[in-house]
Chain A
């Protein structure tokens, strides 16, 4: 296997066999220890060809003036300079941050509350659980199409607002309301964090609740002092993945608003797509994607550093 040569330098010397083993047997033993490579081989190949390689390639591209169809030329940091002064980069970053600021905390709280509800003893629970989960199963294009209609000027949402005498806005074509509309819609897609929270809730040891009861704690005390501390690892995971996903939102905006009106829903990834595949400025698009990378990376690191203050791990992970 080609893979055995990859690790030729490491490992073998660690457990040098005692004298009587012949060279041949030592080699066979070493080879057997490398069997794991066969299993992870596909991932190693994919990692090099589809991740590591492209990351390096993307870095190179970001220093080039590369309009598809013309030979690329090296222009140093000029793509980055242009990106930092491009008002639409600023605008789209601001929009993305705005979305993230409401979408991530909002959907975490909702997912947590729903998971708490679904963890109660209620008859027919599998049916209710499924109903909460279905909108997440169908997220993406299908949901976007439905919400185009729900948010239509004379659509269902404004119809309901009309019952209360409220004259609803023209959601998706209003510069003020287009972004809140996308945020509201995102709250229907909380199913996957909800399922993760539900799994977590079922793992909270019952005796902790009993202890809280003995101490005279009511419902809120149990949530506050047992459930939430025990759930912090799950909440943390949900926040981390939520921020990463939220910064790369594109489908809804592309389908429902095309970034409009007046760039009010121009997300950063949408702008990268426009620059790359409509304007064919690959070098420029790559430089913006690195700015996005830096922001997501920083946000993740900050969250990991902050996690030490509030995430509670009772058990060590096995392995």
Chain B
């Protein structure tokens, strides 16, 4: 650092300054340009969803469709039991976020802060379930829920969330390990139980990490496709992500309607992300997810 500040005080030759400036401009161009490349599909979807069918292939392409064609959304909405798909998705996601977060935090606390003989051996089990392919359990789990007569209900999508999710347990444990132990020792001397330490000492310090796993949970459950696909059968029982699969065949090349459908799926995600963004980014930085 010392070298650069000394540099800054000395008047620099014009050529060097021009070089620095052009490098800076190039950096801005790449960062901003790249972010537009990344957002392009989303802009494009929004635009198409508000465009008349006859304007889809107009050259030059219409950047902002005026007036916006809101009817696309009405037509799309009426093409399936969209309302009940929405409702099912919200039930699954709402339940999963709450259940997964609570159980994962509690289990992670057990692995990070309590001591018992088998603890570290069991944690290898957590790592194993994180690493091993879940594809193998797909068939037996389906057969078990089939035997329990739960196919075509939401139960197979809810029950597994009650036991903590390995990846979230891992993230929370890594985070808890970074909290100074003296905090709990102090509380312990005051006679606090583990549950009290978790609630009064550890949780208030863990909000960003908890927000992180809650966002992950929301994203994964909202976008989940394969599980609802195999467990849900009747059209009105589907979740939104699976229901929209019917739109692909129904709308064919009516891309303006397909994009209106995609908006239904994407807008709640973006809202959720923005609500939690600040905590989420901090949480990622703090948990220092690493091998």
Contact = CB atoms under 8 A, between A and B. Distances in A.
A131 interface: yes
A39 B197 CA distance: 13
Given A14-B117, A131-B38, A276 B138 contact: yes
A118 B31 contact: yes
Contacts of A177: none
A44 B169 CA distance: 12
B288 A39 contact: no
B273 A248 contact: no
Contacts of A90: none
Contacts of B129: 47, 51
Interface stretch (B13-21, B65-73, B90-98, B106-114): B106-114
A282 B143 contact: yes
B255 interface: yes
A199 B3 CA distance: 27
A50 B163 contact: yes
Interface residues of A, number: 103
B226 to A, nearest CB: 6
Contacts of A296: 132-133
B8 interface: no
Contact of A146 (B42, B144, B281): B42
A42 to B, nearest CB: 5
Could you tell me the dominant secondary structure of chain A's interface residues?
helix
Contacts of A247: 133
Contacts of A150: 41, 44
Given A33-B115, A240-B131, A55 B137 contact: yes
B261 A11 contact: no
A214 interface: yes
Interface string A40-53: 10111111011101
Contacts of A293: 132-133, 135-136
A285 B139 contact: yes
Contacts of A240: 131, 291
Interface stretch (A19-27, A98-106, A133-141, A221-229): A133-141
Contacts of A167: none
B38 A188 contact: yes
B187 interface: no
9 contacts: A36-B110, A42-B163, A43-B164, A133-B273, A140-B224, A148-B248, A214-B3, A255-B245, A285-B139
Interface of B: 1, 3, 27-28, 30-32, 34-36, 38-39, 41-42, 44-45, 48, 57, 61, 103, 106-107, 109-112, 114-119, 122, 125-126, 129, 131-144, 146, 160, 162-164, 169, 177-178, 194, 219, 223-226, 229-230, 241-242, 244-245, 247-248, 253, 255, 258-259, 261-262, 265-266, 269-270, 273-274, 277, 281, 284-285, 287-291
